[in-house]
Structure 1
Amino acid sequence: MQIQVNSDNHIQGSIRLNEWVRSTVESRLERYEEDLTRIEVHMRDENGDKPGPHDKRCQMEARPKGHQPISVSHKAESLELAVEGAAEKLNHALEHYYGKQRSKRAVTQQESSANDADGLLQEEFLENEQARLS
Structure 2
Amino acid sequence: MWWLMFFSALSSATLLPGSSEVLIVSLAVREPEMAPALLVSATLGNTIGGYITFFMGWGAVVLGRRYTGWLPSEKEQARAMPWLKRYGWWSLLLSWTPVIGDALCLLAGAAKLPIIQSGLAMLVGKALRYAVLLYVAGFLGG
TM-score, normalised by the number of residues in structure 1: 0.29
Structure (1/2) with the larger helix percentage: 2
TM-score, normalised by the number of residues in structure 2: 0.28
Structure (1/2) with the larger strand percentage: 1
More contact order relative to length (CA 8 Å, sep ≥ 6): 2
